[in-house]
Amino acid sequence: MMISLHMRSDGRFADHRVETLEAACNHLRNSEQTDVVVLDLHLPDSMGLETFTSLHRQFPEVPIVILSGQEDELFAVEALAQGAQDYVPKGTVDERVLVRSLLYAIERNGRQLAERRTW
């Protein structure tokens, strides 16, 4: 599942959920604003890190937080090295942890984009 999130003026997130990578790409192409994406790496039409890589390649300015059942640290480090803003194992997540991860991802991504524009 991919969840596209937009932060509303009241500080809460409005979400849009899709079940496939194809639907995720279509949604992001047609969405006016997505502040952050929560991505499961196991979709019906894509599996593993290729799911992230494909989405990130097409939408490099959208911050992506990976939410995965895989708790392999090396896998998480590889995802971060390839551009994921965060990697949250499903077994360790609660609402507070996820919201903090999303807010930090939005902030980090904004700073990275600003730095790139000044070069």
| Total number of domains constituting the chain | 1
In which domain, by residue range, is 55 found? 2-114
> When comparing pLDDT for 11 and 13, which is higher?
13
119 is a domain residue: no
Tens of pLDDT, residues 22-41: 999 999 999 888 999 999 99
Predicted confidence (pLDDT) per residue in 42-79, tens digit = 999 999 999 999 999 999 999 999 998 888 889 999 99
What DSSP string describes 60-72?
TTS-EEEEES---
- Look at residue 95 in the predicted model and tell me its pLDDT: 86
Q: What is the pLDDT of residue 90?
A: 86
pLDDT (0 to 100) of residue 30: 94
Q: What is the CATH number of the domain that holds 106?
A: 3.40.50.2300
